[in-house]
């Protein structure tokens, strides 16, 4: 262990998910989320990452406060582990591997890693609630933009047959590792999105992404739904709700979950 480490705090004014994805893509270290802040720590200088985020924020015209400090090393990995807490959502208990499982809930282990999704964020927890309520045993399910794989793992633990995809190859690798960690199985995986699905229909399609991407791929998501299939979309800030819902207006809206400024919507395909 070195005597010092570097801590970079990123506080975007908006488009938090976009900046989170950027930070994740720029560092191989674990990322902490805390009250709208994205915190990266490393024994390597993070100045290059700070400069990259600054250039990105200027390019998309979004203010982003950043603080880079050099700190004395006091076993921050242990401190970080202690800051990561388990969470109960729907039928599931999501925990890091160093915490004990709960016998009265379906156990999901997600250790903080490169990809997003630990159950604490409003979009992830809302999707887990939707899976708890609507997923059924032997459902064919696809998780589009799988991230850490937490949603796919949840569906698998309910007896669903799960496919996963993500445009980031690292996420696919992380998800595969998380499935092994959870003694769970997925059917198929690919680097890409829903447009790669050609000859298969699903009982449930899950897409926890961002509003603009949902708008862009809305036809692909609808095309891979079975008659009476369930579509779960999330990652939608409430200010973008109307433009997203308009793209899915031909589907039957079953439920809208609103948590703080985030929205998750569950649809049924009209047969």
pLDDT band (50, 70, 90) for residue 194: very high
Q: How far is 143 from 53, CA to CA, in rounded Å? A: 28
Q: How far is 13 from 160, CA to CA, in rounded Å? A: 38
Q: How far is 249 from 245, CA to CA, in rounded Å? A: 6
pLDDT tens per residue across span 62-77? 999 999 999 887 666 6
186, 122 Cβ separation under 8 angstroms: no
Please give the CATH architecture assigned to the domain spanning 84-268: 3-Layer(aba) Sandwich (3.40)
Q: Mention the CATH class of domain 4-81.
A: alpha beta
Distances (CA, A) of 186 to 89, 141, 148, 164, 170: 22, 10, 13, 7, 17
Sheet holding 106-109, edge to edge: 87-89, 92-95, 106-109
pLDDT tens per residue across span 19-57? 998 998 888 777 888 888 999 998 889 999 999 999 999
Q: What is the pLDDT of residue 63?
A: 94
**CA torsion, ordered 91, 17, 22, 127, to nearest 10 deg:** 20
DSSP count for the chain of H helices, then E strands: 9, 14
Q: What is the pLDDT of residue 118?
A: 55
Q: Which two tokens stand for residue 217?
A: 């791929």
Strand 140-144 vs strand 161-166: parallel, antiparallel, or unpaired?
parallel
Q: What is the pLDDT of residue 12?
A: 94
Q: What is the pLDDT of residue 84?
A: 72
pLDDT at 221 over 60: yes
Q: Which two tokens stand for residue 26?
A: 């720029």
Q: What is the pLDDT of residue 145?
A: 94
pLDDT tens per residue across span 144-156? 999 889 999 999 9
| Model-wide pTM > 0.85 | no
pLDDT tens per residue across span 115-143? 345 557 889 999 999 999 999 999 999 99
DSSP category for residue 240: G
Domain map (residue ranges) of the chain: 4-81, 84-268
Q: How far is CA 164 from the centre of its chain?
A: 13
């Amino acid at each position: 262990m070195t005597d010092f480490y570097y801590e970079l705090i990123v506080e975007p004014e908006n488009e938090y998910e976009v900046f989170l994805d950027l930070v994740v893509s720029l560092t191989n270290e674990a990322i902490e989320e805390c009250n709208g802040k994205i915190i990266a720590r490393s024994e390597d200088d993070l100045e290059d990452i700070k400069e990259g985020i600054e250039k990105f924020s200027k390019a998309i015209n979004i203010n982003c406060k950043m603080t880079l400090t050099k700190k004395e090393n006091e076993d921050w990995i242990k401190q970080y582990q202690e800051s990561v807490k388990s969470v109960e959502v729907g039928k599931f208990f999501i925990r890091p591997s160093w915490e004990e499982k709960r016998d009265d809930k379906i156990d999901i282990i997600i250790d903080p890693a490169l990809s997003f999704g630990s159950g604490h964020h409003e979009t992830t927890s809302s999707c887990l609630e939707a899976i708890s309520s609507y997923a059924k045993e032997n459902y064919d399910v696809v998780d589009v933009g799988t991230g850490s794989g937490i949603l796919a793992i949840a569906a698998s633990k309910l007896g669903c047959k799960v496919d996963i995809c993500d445009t980031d190859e690292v996420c696919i690798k992380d998800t595969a590792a998380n499935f092994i960690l959870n003694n769970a199985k997925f059917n198929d995986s690919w680097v890409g999105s829903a447009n790669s699905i050609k000859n298969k229909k699903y009982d449930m399609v899950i897409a926890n992404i961002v509003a603009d991407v949902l708008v862009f791929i809305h036809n692909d998501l609808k095309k891979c739904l079975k008659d009476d299939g369930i579509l779960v979309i999330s990652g939608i800030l409430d200010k973008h709700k109307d433009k997203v819902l308009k793209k899915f207006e031909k589907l039957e809206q079953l439920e809208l979950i609103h948590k703080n400024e985030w929205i998750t919507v569950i649809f049924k395909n009209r047969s």
